[in-house]
Amino acid sequence: MVFPIVGGLGEEIPLLMLRDGGVNYWHRANKLPMQALTAGRERQSYVCDILIDFVDDKQDTIDEFNAGLEAAGLEYAELMKLHAVYSDAENLRTNTSVIEAFRELRGQGKVRYLSLAQHGKMRYEILHAAIDSGWFDVIQLPLNPLATDEDFEVIRHASDSDIGVMAMKTCAWIAKAGTEPPPDGRLDPGVARASLGTAGLKWVLSQPGVTVAAVWVTTESEVEQALAAVDSLPTRAEQVALGRAVAAAGPVWCRLCGEHCEGVCPVAMPISEIALADVHARAHGSPTPDEVQLLRMAQSCTRCGACARHCPYGVDVPRVLAAAARRGA
């Protein structure tokens, strides 16, 4: 399946600008002012999803989905999206209550497709298992110009299995794509007259197999940058901007694999979880209480450097953790 669309999400955004700019996929529809967004529009002209955060009980899942539909004022949603619900591949294969719930709701005409958004260090094995299961129509993974071979393997696997791929968290990367990026996300005019936000989204949307990008935008400027990314490839100036951003972000952007560094840390620091919490906190402006707890764990880092020596991507982990500790203080 293919969604020829760009998705938009967020709680405090100029949503009507996105609508008028042609966005036609509304993520977490139950949290958005759907009446305003869809007034005068044919139901077939937009796509919605309802998010499910747990998978332990079939009836709870059905109740949650129905409550979401009601809150959104919808008779049906195109997608039920599972949000990072699995701990590992085995958990996905054996915990089928949500799949049964989805099938029941689909039989009632309330939903058509099942989607899985997964981040965190187990995401690759979980997403491969999801693709192999044959249960999912769409998968969603973090994607940005620092993508690894493992990211591309998942995308290829999904694409070969005729499963849609939604990219997410590109904007979080953009927010961190320099040690001190300008507040509006634009690069120094001396570097390139290009928007890093637009360039990053163009890059993501131009990757073979990627069918849609979910963007997190909070300002009019970010909406403009996102809309400018639709249906075009990065310009030469944007390619230069991206190249410089990749160089700047490489040492501070943890790829969240959790594989090489955590096992050698003498204080068992959950490095990838802290890095993810820091990205979220930065992208959203402030950390949640759970994120504060994680960020504060970074204070125990002794700066011995063992983790950094084992990271295959050259991440300066002590520097990343120092920034996280400051954000959680």
The least CB distance from residue 285 to ligand SF4, in Å, is: 23
Rounded to the nearest 10°, the torsion over CA 47, 51, 127, 94 is: -130
Q: Where are the alpha helices (DSSP H) in the chain?
A: 15-20, 34-38, 58-72, 89-94, 97-107, 123-133, 149-160, 170-175, 196-205, 220-227, 236-249, 271-284, 289-297, 306-310, 317-328
Q: Which is nearer to ligand SF4, 211 or 272 (CB)?
A: 272
The least CB distance from residue 193 to ligand SF4, in Å, is: 32
Q: Does 257 bind ligand SF4 (CB under 6 A)?
A: yes
Segment contacting ligand SF4 by CB under 6 A, of 133-141, 186-194, 242-250, 260-268: 260-268
Using CA atoms, how far apart are residues 227 and 283, in angstroms rounded to an integer? 19
Q: Does 6 bind ligand SF4 (CB under 6 A)?
A: no
Segment contacting ligand SF4 by CB under 6 A, of 13-21, 80-88, 195-203, 257-265: 257-265
Amino acid in the structure at residue 62: I
Q: Does 147 bind ligand SF4 (CB under 6 A)?
A: no
The least CB distance from residue 148 to ligand SF4, in Å, is: 8
Using CA atoms, how far apart are residues 49 and 5, in angstroms rounded to an integer? 14
CA angle 144–147–151, rounded 5-degree value:
115
Q: Does 267 bind ligand SF4 (CB under 6 A)?
A: yes
Q: Does 51 bind ligand SF4 (CB under 6 A)?
A: no
Q: Residue 109 is encoded by which pair of tokens?
A: 């005409």
Q: Does 246 bind ligand SF4 (CB under 6 A)?
A: no
**Count of positions on this chain that bind ligand SF4 (CB under 6 A):** 28
Q: Does 271 bind ligand SF4 (CB under 6 A)?
A: yes
The least CB distance from residue 141 to ligand SF4, in Å, is: 15
The least CB distance from residue 223 to ligand SF4, in Å, is: 31
In 3D, which of 271, 262, 273 has the Cα closest to residue 120?
Answer: 273
Amino acid in the structure at residue 46: Y
Using CA atoms, how far apart are residues 278 and 286, in angstroms rounded to an integer? 9
Q: Which is nearer to ligand SF4, 1 or 264 (CB)?
A: 264
Q: Considering only residues 254, 294, 323, 325, which one is a binding residue for ligand SF4 as defined by CB under 6 A? A: 254
- Count Cβ atoms below 10 Å from residue 288 Cβ, excluding itself: 12
In 3D, which of 82, 116, 211, 203 has the Cα closest to residue 155?
Answer: 211
Q: Does 326 bind ligand SF4 (CB under 6 A)?
A: no
**Window 277-306: residues binding ligand SF4 (CB under 6 A):** 301-306
Q: Which residues bind ligand SF4 (CB under 6 A)?
A: 254-261, 265-267, 269, 271-272, 275, 301-307, 311, 313, 315, 317-318, 321
